[in-house]
Structure 1
């Protein structure tokens, strides 16, 4: 044992070796040529260091770096005992070592990733055959990156001679001291609180919390009819987050940062976003209503966006790939993300808010620990840049539920009623699921509520004041009659058939007065089958043309009813009185857009020439409306959707001049009554004339040339029905006066 003095390391290069510097003379006289020594600053204290010889150190001194002096609690010129140390080749070689790494200078923090595989190779090259002790600090310069501080966390040693002999029964042993060799396995782990970014396979396995809540039960989600959509969201947005970051690094895979849920109101977009937030084992989602972001003060709207991402940015800097997931849910995202340049005015607030959101999601400083969920009824209004890959790249349409989905939704909303025995045994939910075509999830919930209201109403006594029958309350049961009353009277689907208008068109029914009517109905039935078939583009358009009052609208309504399509919408000029050309085009476009949301849809465009503002004096028409109609009549519906369009017109020659006839799949002619035999069916059905009067009338009509629409005939019959005598004479006179019958010459 020799007493020596503590000195400084002569150069920075020598300090980076993490060895104690000794003068060559002392190396021979004190350590007898050994490469390692035990330093004892006080009784009971032993620190093993590797030595490096250099003539710049004063003889009798040992040069320690700052990190070594701090670890061994040494002061300059302190006397220390030094003893040569020799490692045992059978048990002191380090087979594996865990190192905790951080930046040496905490002020010089870099976001550049450190490849642990390359670091491990370079570390062993710099510190081969060097002594390591648990808790010992090292200064490590990796390539040209920021200087790092390394602390030895765990050491496992093995018998190197046994390994050379090929023995397979060599078990590593935990140790406080060891000697490194070129095959030592190095594992780098981030020091506590460190912001260093580690990549590669030579880093410690971080204990990760499962992203899916362990108590989550997919069968109890309370989302009906959206299994396919939820599976698509999980596959695209969450499958990559289930695996450890190391796997994603090996694949070079980036997480999906955004989901857009769009579709009609009431289909479950908000419900699905809420359930996603509960399903994930992450922080409570930040739920933002789009209009909340906007602020009257300049710059505050953009600042509100930045505040939403502040927590995620701070954690990303601190924890890197191991950062937890931050979910931000934007309800009515179209309020703040309208297409740039589309909002009138000079403030430009809308555009700058969009720009700020785009830069935060996928700007220069990218965040990989966020998930944006946007919801809207108007996907067409959102800026295209927000929908590209890397931003809200997963667009899922939450459409109207199908029959299986409607059954699930009804089961969800009647679950408590069933459990408590409050639902009648005559209620068959599958039956109502079949009946409620094109009902949204919210409308189905409304149907259940309306049925419950009907049942509760039976308990109220109709007296001078409102009283509740307490005895009947215990026996309350919601029956099938309650559901039927709610279905027929209380809840009508927004995307359902315009039943009242259709019934108005068909108030007198369809009177098959001859073969022309039957031919139209037969051809229409074939075209309906073509529209419903899964073959072809899914679009069939029919033009019913004929004279005024020929019954074209009624036949169009009958074809719509024959189709059985759940969505039937009427596009009529009477609904657009006073509209400008652009407003009219927007309304027509909306009707077609609504139709695309249903699996099977029918649109009746009544009186096309009136819709086009056609006037025979001039003549004039709206070219803007014409072009819009032509585009929509030729546009195929989305994949899997079927659309039947039935148009009516009294001006075929005008539509021919406008080159509109070629836009239709088929043009069907609706004929006038032209023979006395046609009149016979109408007169028999009306009951206005007696049999003898009818025979006389038909005999007289046989001598006339006839051309009259069925609607006009029925109107005249209604008029003469009010007379008590001379009905037949009045009827013939009116027909002659208005030129519907002319004597054969």
Structure 2
């Protein structure tokens, strides 16, 4: 055993290595040598500035000049003794020159020192808790078999804080590891041990944060120094920069290990979202696939991460739910979910500050960790409420424009962040500022549309899972049949359908005499009849406009002439063509004829006959009283909604009224006309099929403005003129005897009128059955079909 006095050799920085040449030695020799005063002043200054121990001189100290051999000695993590002492400590049985000092293991080195001295660095003295005036006990350390480290993690920082204006230093972890293994292989490391390491001219401070020993599984007793182990060639070492506020040091990950961005137990089925497999595949491929690969590969390829995506589509299709659930399963910091209107504030500048605060945490993380920073997800719902096109807002404050500018600067500005993913959601994509939708900003646009039959089945299974688990769902309920009958239902509407069915089943258990009590609660079962009732109550927003169609065809369709039957067969053929077309299709047909010829009724009949999932009727009466801007918006919105359905039909009834045509002065709305020109030629970009039926009584006007060319086919509705046609139209009418029908047919033969006009007159004259010929002719006169008579003879009417 040897008792030595302490020699202090600080290795806190390159300055200390080059300047702190003398080592403090407590000498046992007789005679005291006093150092020059300037040495003492220099030594005190360096130790106080470089983090050395405080100097408390309780006994007289003797200073001995012992120059260090250079910078390499300060960063070797070895303790140094004289060569003669080194030979005494290292015996033949010792494989590595290791010594134990105060339960700390160090590698031993030799240098020209006095025999009664041992030299420590400042980091080593802190670890071993050795004071300046204390004697230390040093003994050889025998390495046990299990004294090896399997892995260790090390934090990297500067010995002292760099200046505020210093540039950021980026170092590859592979370069640090190379120097680390050169300097510290076969050395012992302990948790929280500090090391000094020179990497490409930069002095770094390393701190061991964790050390995992090798588990040999032999059951042997562990060494008493269980928190210490030797670094071997097989030890896995990971480096990371200390999360400093300055962020001046960045350790770049150069390993080939893939990163995990999803939770280990991630399962798409657990998201609770059905019918979005294709959309989720697009999101993963564009937004998350590059984040799975190691930063080294991404950096080498020179690509940038996707920093924003936009989810858009009809309401109730699962945009918000998808964003919330997806952010929940990401292995990232907790997502920030905010609705657009929540950012607005009455105070000037507060709205912009709230936008900046959304990115504050991500900015701090990126300054500290660079490309190793965690992913920060920001979910912004109802984005169209705060990010409208700049210049479109009429307010004088310009808050809406400032919000857009703030988002642009944070996502793709001078100091853009790569650890941010902004997920925006909207029902009105066309309202957003175009600058936000460019590549580098919200570059990934995913349309969350209406689910198909397979998707509807998935959604129904999700919403009925608890009913099935609790045995509340009757075995006769066929979810596949419900999925086929709920065309164009959104996810929210399917959920409402299930709620309505459950409410119907629960209502049967309510006591009508006492509404506050229920009976036989354990026998509640949701049956197929409950779902049938729910289908009648819950109507899809993108379904069929049945009420408008019923109002247009109240008296049905009467095939009064063969030409009409042939016309109806043609329209049915168009329906079959649209239904069976494999690709995108746009069928446009114009029905024209005299006033009252049944164009509206025929178009409504064909629409109901098609049974397309999306059917809309736009007529002049539905838009009467609206401004031109509102009419333009309504027409455009209808066509946009139609493009969201795989199969759709639109009826443009009374085109001349839609265009605000007036025969006096030939006045019409050119804006609506030009809009129809564009819409009637635009096919769906998603392979969907659409059929448009237009009706008009002013074919001449449509030819003058050229609108008739926008329709692929033009079919004329035949009018009543033949005797057989009048008989077919009036046969089986209430109050009309066969004799009267023949009389009227003979009287009306050769005169032209529309079938709707004839049926309206017949309905008016049948108010007091049986119908008389004179009564019918008077009703024709009231309908302005015939002019006044010159005698009481009912046949003395003249047709207009």
TM-score, length-scaled by structure 1: 0.80
Query: Residue 531 of structure 1: CA displacement?
Result: 2.6
Counterpart selection for 1:540 from 574, 579, 587? 587
Report the equivalent of 1:89.
none
Report the equivalent of 1:470.
519
Query: Residue 330 of structure 1: CA displacement?
Result: 1.5
Query: Residue 607 of structure 1: CA displacement?
Result: 0.6
Q: Decide whether the 8 Å contact of 1:222 with 1:412 is kept in 2.
A: yes
Q: Decide whether the 8 Å contact of 1:188 with 1:202 is kept in 2.
A: no
Q: Within 1, Cα distance between the matches of 2:169 and 2:349?
A: 32
Report the equivalent of 1:432.
482
Report the equivalent of 2:530.
482
Query: Residue 119 of structure 1: CA displacement?
Result: 5.2
- 2:662 aligned with 1:606, yes or no? no
Query: Residue 656 of structure 1: CA displacement?
Result: 0.7
Query: Residue 385 of structure 1: CA displacement?
Result: 2.6
Q: Cα gap change, 1:176/1:572 in structure 2, threshold over 3 Å: closer, same or farther?
A: closer
Report the equivalent of 1:198.
251
Report the equivalent of 2:446.
396
SS of 1:297 mapped into structure 2: coil
Report the equivalent of 1:104.
158
Q: Cα gap change, 1:95/1:699 in structure 2, threshold over 3 Å: closer, same or farther?
A: closer
Query: Residue 388 of structure 1: CA displacement?
Result: 2.9
Report the equivalent of 2:336.
286
Q: Deviations over 1:424-443 (max 9, x none)?
A: 33322222222211111111
Q: Decide whether the 8 Å contact of 2:642 with 2:648 is kept in 1.
A: yes
Q: Within 2, Cα distance between the matches of 1:697 and 1:432?
A: 51
Q: Within 2, Cα distance between the matches of 1:46 and 1:501?
A: 90
Q: Decide whether the 8 Å contact of 1:20 with 1:49 is kept in 2.
A: no
Counterpart selection for 2:728 from 663, 677, 681? 681
Q: Deviations over 1:326-362 (max 9, x none)?
A: 3222221222222222212221111222222232233
Counterpart selection for 2:676 from 617, 621, 629? 629
Report the equivalent of 1:160.
none
Give 1:547-696 correspondences, 5 Å limit. Answer: 547-696=594-743
Q: Within 1, Cα distance between the matches of 2:212 and 2:601?
A: 90
Long gaps (5+) in structure 1: 33-37, 86-93, 157-173
SS of 1:309 mapped into structure 2: helix
Q: Decide whether the 8 Å contact of 2:584 with 2:688 is kept in 1.
A: no
Q: Cα gap change, 1:186/1:327 in structure 2, threshold over 3 Å: closer, same or farther?
A: closer
Greater Cα shift, 190-199 or 592-601: 190-199
Q: Within 2, Cα distance between the matches of 1:151 and 1:696?
A: 111
Q: Decide whether the 8 Å contact of 1:505 with 1:553 is kept in 2.
A: yes
Counterpart selection for 1:303 from 336, 353, 361? 353
Query: Residue 496 of structure 1: CA displacement?
Result: 0.8
Q: Decide whether the 8 Å contact of 2:99 with 2:108 is kept in 1.
A: no
Query: Residue 312 of structure 1: CA displacement?
Result: 2.6
Q: Cα gap change, 1:28/1:581 in structure 2, threshold over 3 Å: closer, same or farther?
A: same
Counterpart selection for 1:115 from 172, 175, 179? 172
Greater Cα shift, 405-414 or 416-425: 416-425
Query: Residue 257 of structure 1: CA displacement?
Result: 2.9
Q: Cα gap change, 1:411/1:49 in structure 2, threshold over 3 Å: closer, same or farther?
A: closer
Counterpart selection for 1:378 from 406, 428, 431? 428
Q: Decide whether the 8 Å contact of 1:212 with 1:280 is kept in 2.
A: yes
Q: Decide whether the 8 Å contact of 1:7 with 1:77 is kept in 2.
A: no
Query: Residue 233 of structure 1: CA displacement?
Result: 2.5
Query: Residue 276 of structure 1: CA displacement?
Result: 1.5
Q: Cα gap change, 1:186/1:452 in structure 2, threshold over 3 Å: closer, same or farther?
A: closer
Q: Decide whether the 8 Å contact of 1:448 with 1:483 is kept in 2.
A: yes
Counterpart selection for 1:715 from 747, 760, 781? 760
Q: Deviations over 1:39-65 (max 9, x none)?
A: 999999997677899xxx99x999998
Q: Within 1, Cα distance between the matches of 2:6 and 2:263?
A: 60
Q: Within 2, Cα distance between the matches of 1:625 and 1:721?
A: 42
Give 1:199-598 correspondences, 5 Å limit. Answer: 199-201=252-254, 211-214=262-265, 216-246=266-296, 248-249=298-299, 252=302, 254-463=304-513, 466=515, 468=517, 470-471=519-520, 473-488=521-536, 490-535=537-582, 537-598=584-645
Q: Within 1, Cα distance between the matches of 2:70 and 2:715?
A: 97
SS of 1:357 mapped into structure 2: helix
Q: Cα gap change, 1:527/1:690 in structure 2, threshold over 3 Å: closer, same or farther?
A: same
Q: Deviations over 1:294-328 (max 9, x none)?
A: 11112211211222222333333344444333322
Q: Decide whether the 8 Å contact of 2:276 with 2:451 is kept in 1.
A: yes
Root-mean-square deviation (CA, aligned residues, Å) is 4.6
Q: Deviations over 1:537-558 (max 9, x none)?
A: 4211111111110100011111
Q: Within 1, Cα distance between the matches of 2:268 and 2:18?
A: 64
Q: Decide whether the 8 Å contact of 2:157 with 2:242 is kept in 1.
A: no
Query: Residue 683 of structure 1: CA displacement?
Result: 1.9
Q: Deviations over 1:96-155 (max 9, x none)?
A: 998946333442285442123455667899x79x9967578665554466x423468999
Report the equivalent of 1:162.
none
Report the equivalent of 1:90.
none
Query: Residue 581 of structure 1: CA displacement?
Result: 1.3
Query: Residue 511 of structure 1: CA displacement?
Result: 0.6
Query: Residue 3 of structure 1: CA displacement?
Result: 10
SS of 1:355 mapped into structure 2: helix
Q: Decide whether the 8 Å contact of 2:765 with 2:779 is kept in 1.
A: no
Q: Decide whether the 8 Å contact of 1:213 with 1:280 is kept in 2.
A: no
Q: Cα gap change, 1:219/1:211 in structure 2, threshold over 3 Å: closer, same or farther?
A: closer
SS of 1:603 mapped into structure 2: strand
Q: Within 1, Cα distance between the matches of 2:197 and 2:315?
A: 60
Report the equivalent of 1:17.
72
Q: Cα gap change, 1:541/1:341 in structure 2, threshold over 3 Å: closer, same or farther?
A: same
Query: Residue 188 of structure 1: CA displacement?
Result: 6.2
Q: Within 2, Cα distance between the matches of 1:486 and 1:39?
A: 82
Q: Within 1, Cα distance between the matches of 2:349 and 2:106?
A: 60
Q: Within 1, Cα distance between the matches of 2:255 and 2:17?
A: 33
Query: Residue 271 of structure 1: CA displacement?
Result: 2.0
Q: Within 2, Cα distance between the matches of 1:404 and 1:137?
A: 60
Counterpart selection for 1:149 from 191, 205, 227? 205
Q: Decide whether the 8 Å contact of 1:2 with 1:30 is kept in 2.
A: no
Query: Residue 565 of structure 1: CA displacement?
Result: 0.8
Give 1:18-37 correspondences, 5 Å limit. Answer: 18=73
Q: Decide whether the 8 Å contact of 2:735 with 2:771 is kept in 1.
A: no
Q: Within 2, Cα distance between the matches of 1:270 and 1:366?
A: 26
Query: Residue 666 of structure 1: CA displacement?
Result: 0.9
Query: Residue 725 of structure 1: CA displacement?
Result: 6.7
